[in-house]
Amino acid sequence: MTTPTRLQQEIAERILRMVREDGLEAGAWLNENSAARRLNVSRTPVRAAIDHLARQGLVRRHPNKGVELLSTPEGPADAGATADETELLMVKVAQDRHGGRLPDEISELELMRRYELGRPEVQRLMTRLADLDMVERKRGYGWRFLHEARDQSAHDERYRFRLLIEPMTFLEPGFALEQGWIDEMRARHELTLSQPWKESSAIGFYEMNADFHEGLAAASGNRFIHSAIRRQNQMRRLSNYDWTYGYQRVVVNSREHLQMLATIEAGDLELASALMRSHLQRAMQLRRPDGLD
């Protein structure tokens, strides 16, 4: 079975949410054009998301007729709420970790008390963090954070390292980027810019940002550059979930990424390298209100 991309999963979930909001039942018809307009995205990612739903048996395409809803998705509103709640908890963990309120090692009981959660909710939260290489289960009991809370000097050192590496990505002799990746990344950025910002949005925004930088590093064809950027993404994930720079910085970041994609498509890799350097320099100058990364 074809594995859906992150964008396809996001849009598929939004389509199901739209179905629930409209009270549609099995046998109803969906229209790609109207769905694209309502979701404020192009038809291409909507079509791919519907294909993903078809593979799950939730919809069926009828040539020259449209898309039929085969079954009403169950629990989506609750599932969506659960996902949002988990992401809000991840933001709270990031805030507490960088505020010095969470130790390097912590038990599930302590987390249950701190966040007033049941054990299943804590286990779901920590499993999600573990999947992202942010924590690991201790042998026998409890959890351990994999990266120390950072100070300003670590922030500056990391960006100086990235300034040495990432602008050179485009100038590697084997640099090659597939058009499909560019199209998907552009669609994800446009989707981010079209959606209202909320506290839990920081997680999706960071993951998109990380995928952008890691994808470019992979396109260099240099395994050492790719490995270094992947490691950098892992190390800065928790601090970026605690987003304190406001929505305007999200807009600036996304537009700078889109500009780089357009430059790559135009074949001007020297300019793309220069844009990456200025992009990282501006990011390096950001300072959190609490003085941390």
Q: How far is CA 267 from the centre of its chain?
A: 27
Percentage of the chain with pLDDT > 70?
A: 86
pTM of the model: 0.62
pLDDT confidence bin for 221, thresholds 50/70/90: very high
Give the model confidence (pLDDT) of 60-108 as tens digits: 988 777 788 887 665 544 444 455 677 778 878 887 887 788 888 999 9
The pLDDT score that the predictor gives to residue 18 is 78
pLDDT confidence bin for 2, thresholds 50/70/90: low
Residue scoring higher pLDDT (154 or 48): 48
Tally of residues, the chain? 293
From the list 52, 22, 8, the residue with the least C-alpha distance to 191 is 8
The pLDDT score that the predictor gives to residue 290 is 38
Residue 196 predicted with pLDDT over 80: yes
- The number of CA neighbours under 13 Å toward the Cβ of 179 is 3
Residue 291 predicted with pLDDT over 50: no
pLDDT confidence bin for 14, thresholds 50/70/90: confident
Kindly report the backbone phi and psi dihedral angles of residue 70, in degrees, each rounded to the nearest multiple of 5, phi listed first: -85, -35
Percentage of the chain with pLDDT > 90?
A: 26
Residue 130 predicted with pLDDT over 90: no
Give the model confidence (pLDDT) of 223-276 as tens digits: 999 999 988 887 777 677 777 778 888 999 999 999 999 999 999 999 999 999
Residue 28 predicted with pLDDT over 90: no
End-to-end CA distance of the chain: 41
pLDDT confidence bin for 173, thresholds 50/70/90: very high
The pLDDT score that the predictor gives to residue 78 is 45
3-state secondary structure of 195: coil
- Distance CA(164)–CA(228), nearest Å, equals 11
Average pLDDT, the chain: 82
Residue 150 predicted with pLDDT over 60: no
